Chain A
Amino acid sequence: MSTTATKQARRFLDALGTHILLLAIVCLFAFPTFWVFMTSFKTPREYYAMPPAFLPAQFQIFHYKEAFAPWTVDPTEMATNYWVEESAGRVESVTPQIVNSLIITFGSVILSMAVGAPAAYSVSRFRFRGSKDLSFWVLSTRMMPPIVTAIPIYWVMRSVGLSGTHIGLIMVYVMINLPFVVWMMKGFFDDIPVEIEEAARIDGCGALALFWRVILPLAIGGIVATALFCVFLSWNEFLFAVILTDTKSQTLPVALSLFRQDRGVLWGQMSAVIVVATLPILVITLFLQQHVVRGLTAGAVKS
C-alpha cells in the first residue's frame, strides 16, 4: 500500500513540476507583450523611471486618444499629466494607416484565395505531368528571402506607376500568400472524399458547378482558416510595405517603424499602436488556434 502511495505522490510531484516549469517558460515568452500592453496605459512618469512601474497606478487611455484621435486630447490634461517631450513629438493620428492596412489586407486576401484555391484543387484532385514538381515549386517560393525580389519589383512598380498605390502592394502580397493558400487548401481538399464528387458528376453536374456548388461549400472551414492565415501574413508584412508605399498609402507596420526615428521617445503612444496592431491577430489566434497552427506548419508536417 505504502509503495503505491509513494508512487502516486511521486507522479503528482512530477506533474506539478512539469506544469510549474511550463508556466514559467510561457510567462517569459508572454512577458514582453504584457509589458507593452501595460505601458500603453502608463503615464510617462511611470515608464521613464528606474525601476519602471510594473503596473500603471491608473489605467489611462490618454495614449490611445493621442495615437488614434489626437483631436480629443485635452491640452490641459496634457500639460498636467504628461511631459513636455511628449507634446513636442506629437504627430498626426495613425487612423489613416489603419484604413490602408485594412484595404490592402482584405484586397490581397480575397485575391489570393480566388487565385490560389483553384490551383490547390488542381494539385489535390488531378495527377498530371509535372503536378508534383509544380506544387513543390510553389511551396519552395516561401523560402526565398523577399529582399531578393524587392529591388526589381520596386523598379518595375515605379516604372508602371504602381508604387505608392494600394493595388501595387496588394499584388505583391498575393505573391507572398499564394504558397500558403495552395498548400493549406490542398490539405483541406484532400480531406473531402472523392465519392461525393463522383456522385455529383453522375447526377450531371458540370465541372464549374461541381467546384462552385459542391466542393467550395464543403471546404468552407478550410477557406476561413486559410483566409485568416493570409490576414496574418498581409497585416504584419513590413519590407515590401516600407519600399512600396508613400505617405498616403502607408500601412500600420510602416507607421510603427516611424516610432524608432522622430518619435523615438513616445513609448506610451508607440505601445498603444503596437497593442492595436497586434489585437486583431491575437483575437483570431485565440479563437482559431488550430487553424493558425495549421497555416504556420503548412507543408511542414506530413499528414
Chain B
Amino acid sequence: MFKNLGNRKAHPYLLIAPTIAWLAGFIVYPLIFSIVMALKQFKLKKDLSFWDMPWVGLRNFEKAINDENFLGALWVTLLVLLVAVTIEFLLGLAIASLLNRKNVRGHPFFMTLLMTPMMMPIIAGGLLWRMLLDVRWGAVNAVVQWFGLPPIDFLGTIQWSLPSVMLVDIWQWTPFVVLILLSGLRAIPDELYEAATVDGAGRVQAFLKITWPLLAWPVMIVLLIRSMDAFKIFDVVYGLTFGGPGNSTTTVSFYIYKQGFSQFNLGYAASLSWIVFIIVYAISTLIIRFLRPSED
C-alpha cells in the first residue's frame, strides 16, 4: 500500500496524520466550537436547536468576570494548587530521597504499597475518604477521639472541608511526585557525588551543587503537571464533598460542570471554560519559562 505511493517522504506524514486528525477533532474543534457556544445564549432545552439560540456577544464573558461564585472557585483552585502541590512536592522529594539511599532494600515492596492510592479510580478515593472522615463513624475521628479531642466534622464545616479535599489530593498524588523525582535522582551518576566528597563537600553542599541543578528538569515537569492537574480536580470533589458545604470546595472544574449540567447554561459554561483555558495556558507558559533548566 505504501509502496504504491512512491514518494517515501510522505510516509511520516501519513503515519502521524490519524493521530493529529483525532486530536484536532476532539480538542481543537471543540475549543473553537465552544467560542461559538460562549457567544450565544446556549441553553440545554428540549426542542431548542442550535439555530434558535440568540447571539449575545460578549455578555457571557462579562457575566463571568462579575460572577462571585466563579471567582470563588478560581480562588479555591488556586489555594489547592499552592498548598497541596507544595506539600506534595516537599513530601515527595523527602520520600524519593529516602528511597534513593544506597542502603535501602525491598524497593518493589515499598513502591507497591506507596502506589496503591493511584491505582484506584479517583472517585473511589473521594468516596473512601468520605467514609474515613465521617463525623460519627469515621476511622480518622476514632483517632481524634483517642487523643481525647471532640470529633471533627471534616466534611460538614467550612474550615475543614477544603483541607480535607487537599488531604485526599495529597494522599493520591504524592506517590506520583515520588515516582518522577526518584527516576530523576537515579539518573544522577554516583561519580559526581564521589568527586564532590573527595573535594571535601558536605551533604548540604552536594545537594545544592549536584542534586538540585540536575534535578531541575524532573522538578519542572512535576510542578507543571501537578499545577495543571489542580485545574482538573473534579472527581475527588464529586465523591467527597460535592462542592460543599456552601461553595467551600467548589473548584473551577466542578463549577463549570454544575453550570453546564445541573443549570444547563452550556453557553455560560463554555465561556468559563475558555477563561480557564487561557489561565492554564498562561500558568504553564510561566512555569516553563521560569523553571526551564539552562540548555547544556
The residues of B that contact A243 with a CB separation of less than 8 Å are: 257, 261
A147-B256, A285-B119 known; A153+B26 contact, CB < 8 A:
yes
A21-B98, A51-B146, A297-B180 known; A151+B260 contact, CB < 8 A:
yes
A238-B234, A278-B121 known; A301+B131 contact, CB < 8 A:
no
Interface string of B230-253 (1 = CB under 8 A from A): 011011001100100000000011
Are B3 and A208 in contact (CB-based, < 8 A)? yes
- For A34, the closest partner residue in chain B by CB is B116
A207-B11, A274-B120 known; A238+B18 contact, CB < 8 A:
no
Interface string of B241-285 (1 = CB under 8 A from A): 010000000001100110011000010011001101100100010
Contact of A148 (CB < 8 Å), options: B9, B50, B277: B277
The answer to whether the Cβ of A121 comes within 8 Å of any Cβ in the partner chain is yes
Shortest Cβ distance from residue B258 to the other chain A in the assembled complex, whole angstroms: 11
Shortest Cβ distance from residue B47 to the other chain A in the assembled complex, whole angstroms: 14
The residues of B that contact A207 with a CB separation of less than 8 Å are: 2-3, 8, 11
Give the CA-CA distance A159 to B51 in the complex, in Å. 13
Query: Binding site of A, secondary structure by majority: helix, strand, loop or mixed?
Result: helix
The answer to whether the Cβ of A219 comes within 8 Å of any Cβ in the partner chain is no
Are B139 and A29 in contact (CB-based, < 8 A)? no
Are A32 and B232 in contact (CB-based, < 8 A)? no
Contact of B218 (CB < 8 Å), options: A50, A149, A260, A300: A300
The answer to whether the Cβ of B156 comes within 8 Å of any Cβ in the partner chain is no
The answer to whether the Cβ of A55 comes within 8 Å of any Cβ in the partner chain is no
Among residues 9 to 45 in chain B, which have CB atoms less than 8 Å away from a CB atom of chain A? 9, 11-13, 15-16, 18-20, 22-23, 25-27, 29-31, 33-34, 37, 42
The residues of A that contact B95 with a CB separation of less than 8 Å are: 22, 25
The answer to whether the Cβ of B184 comes within 8 Å of any Cβ in the partner chain is yes
Among residues 66 to 121 in chain B, which have CB atoms less than 8 Å away from a CB atom of chain A? 95, 98-99, 101, 103-106, 108, 110-121
Are A297 and B3 in contact (CB-based, < 8 A)? no
The residues of B that contact A141 with a CB separation of less than 8 Å are: 23, 27
Give the CA-CA distance A297 to B181 in the complex, in Å. 10
Are B232 and A147 in contact (CB-based, < 8 A)? yes
Contact of A175 (CB < 8 Å), options: B12, B22, B114, B137: B22
Give the CA-CA distance A118 to B260 in the complex, in Å. 37
The residues of B that contact A123 with a CB separation of less than 8 Å are: 12, 16
The answer to whether the Cβ of B152 comes within 8 Å of any Cβ in the partner chain is no
Among residues 123 to 182 in chain B, which have CB atoms less than 8 Å away from a CB atom of chain A? 123-132, 136-139, 141-142, 145-146, 171, 174-176, 179-180
- For B134, the closest partner residue in chain A by CB is A267
Contact of A122 (CB < 8 Å), options: B16, B217, B238: B16
Give the CA-CA distance A182 to B23 in the complex, in Å. 12
- For B3, the closest partner residue in chain A by CB is A206
Q: What is the number of residues of chain B that contact chain A, defined by CB distance less than 8 Å?
A: 104
Give the segment of B193-201, B203-211, B220-228 that binds chain A.
Answer: B220-228
The answer to whether the Cβ of A1 comes within 8 Å of any Cβ in the partner chain is no
The residues of A that contact B138 with a CB separation of less than 8 Å are: 52
Q: What total count of A-B pairs have CB within 8 Å?
A: 295
Are A253 and B284 in contact (CB-based, < 8 A)? no
Are A175 and B103 in contact (CB-based, < 8 A)? no
Give the CA-CA distance A143 to B230 in the complex, in Å. 11
Are B176 and A296 in contact (CB-based, < 8 A)? yes
Give the CA-CA distance A187 to B30 in the complex, in Å. 30
Are B30 and A152 in contact (CB-based, < 8 A)? yes
Are B131 and A267 in contact (CB-based, < 8 A)? yes
Shortest Cβ distance from residue A222 to the other chain B in the assembled complex, whole angstroms: 16
Contact of B23 (CB < 8 Å), options: A138, A260, A293: A138
A52-B137, A178-B22, A297-B179 known; A274+B124 contact, CB < 8 A:
yes
Contact of B110 (CB < 8 Å), options: A22, A32, A267: A22
The answer to whether the Cβ of A252 comes within 8 Å of any Cβ in the partner chain is yes
A18-B101, A260-B127 known; A239+B235 contact, CB < 8 A:
yes
The residues of B that contact A116 with a CB separation of less than 8 Å are: 19
Are B130 and A147 in contact (CB-based, < 8 A)? no
The residues of A that contact B260 with a CB separation of less than 8 Å are: 150-151, 154
Are A208 and B1 in contact (CB-based, < 8 A)? yes
Shortest Cβ distance from residue B110 to the other chain A in the assembled complex, whole angstroms: 5
Give the CA-CA distance A115 to B15 in the complex, in Å. 9
Shortest Cβ distance from residue A125 to the other chain B in the assembled complex, whole angstroms: 8
Are B139 and A35 in contact (CB-based, < 8 A)? yes
Shortest Cβ distance from residue A242 to the other chain B in the assembled complex, whole angstroms: 8
- For B49, the closest partner residue in chain A by CB is A159
Give the CA-CA distance A260 to B240 in the complex, in Å. 8
Are A50 and B137 in contact (CB-based, < 8 A)? yes
Are A131 and B276 in contact (CB-based, < 8 A)? no
Contact of A277 (CB < 8 Å), options: B2, B12, B111, B120: B120
Are A256 and B50 in contact (CB-based, < 8 A)? no
The residues of A that contact B183 with a CB separation of less than 8 Å are: 293, 297, 301
Are A152 and B120 in contact (CB-based, < 8 A)? no
Q: 13 A-B contacts, Cβ less than 8 Å apart?
A: A29-B116, A39-B131, A123-B16, A143-B224, A143-B228, A145-B280, A151-B30, A151-B266, A155-B42, A239-B235, A253-B121, A293-B183, A296-B118
Q: Which residues of B contact A (CB under 8 A)?
A: 1-3, 8-9, 11-13, 15-16, 18-20, 22-23, 25-27, 29-31, 33-34, 37, 42, 50, 95, 98-99, 101, 103-106, 108, 110-132, 136-139, 141-142, 145-146, 171, 174-176, 179-180, 183-184, 187, 217-218, 221-222, 224-225, 228, 231-232, 234-235, 238-239, 242, 252-253, 256-257, 260-261, 266, 269-270, 273-274, 276-277, 280, 284
